[in-house]
């Protein structure tokens, strides 16, 4: 499985991020590229415990039943629902948001994948550090595909 803990996959994600320009247009959805950077950074902040998501039992119940499938597939479906923590209104500064995302990717990749600490995803529930490494790669890859890179 692809993960940010694999140096090659991490490097590929970062290089793809660096190819984007502020004028890049999504192939689907309505986010601007700078908003996408913020959106992807949120998932890493949740994994590191910097953001505590609002948890709703009805979402967690569904998420627990699909967790293994989500982690085993390489692709996400387009236009999936998202929790409020991931919704981005302001698009801020393209370069700043890009650099923050790259910094968070590097910070996350420095985490010990064997660490027993868990962070709670708003749909999938408690995830291990290894599971977060897979999920963050998939999520970021999904949105880079959204912008054609």
Least Cα distance to 54 among 82, 32, 35 occurs for 82
* Distance, CA of 36 to CA of 40 (rounded, Å): 6
Q: With a cut of 50, which residues of the chain have pLDDT below it? A: none
| Predicted TM-score of the model (pTM) | 0.88
**Looking at residue 106, what is its pLDDT?**
98
| Residue 81: per-residue pLDDT | 57
Q: In terms of CATH architecture, what is 7-146?
A: Up-down Bundle (1.20)
Q: Within a 10 A sphere around the Cβ of 10, how many other Cβ atoms? A: 21
Residue 135 corresponds to which tokens in the numbers above? 């999920």
CB count in 10 Å sphere of residue 119: 19
Residues 6+ apart with CB under 8 A from 135: 43, 47, 70, 71, 121, 124, 127
Q: What is the 8-class DSSP label of residue 84?
A: G
pLDDT, one tens digit per residue, over 91-116 is 789 999 999 999 999 999 999 998 88
> Position of tokens 């996408």?
36
Parse the chain into domains and list their residue ranges.
7-146
Q: Percentages helix, strand, coil for the chain, rounded to the nearest 5?
A: 55, 5, 40
Distance CA 105, CA 133 (A): 10
* Nearest alpha carbon to residue 54 among 121, 118, 119: 121
């Amino acid at each position: 499985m692809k993960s940010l803990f694999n140096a090659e996959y991490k490097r590929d994600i970062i290089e793809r991020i660096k190819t984007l320009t502020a004028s890049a247009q999504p192939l689907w959805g309505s986010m601007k590229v700078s908003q996408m950077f913020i959106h992807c950074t949120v998932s890493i902040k949740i994994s590191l415990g910097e953001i505590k998501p609002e948890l709703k039992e009805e979402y967690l119940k569904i998420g627990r039943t699909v967790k293994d499938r989500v982690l085993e597939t390489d692709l996400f479906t387009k236009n999936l629902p998202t929790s409020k923590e991931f919704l981005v209104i302001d698009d801020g500064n393209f370069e700043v948001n890009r650099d923050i995302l790259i910094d968070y990717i590097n910070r996350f990749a420095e985490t010990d994948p064997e660490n027993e600490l868990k962070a709670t995803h708003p749909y999938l529930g408690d995830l291990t550090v290894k599971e977060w490494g897979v999920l963050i790669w998939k999520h970021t890859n999904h949105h880079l595909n959204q912008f054609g890179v």
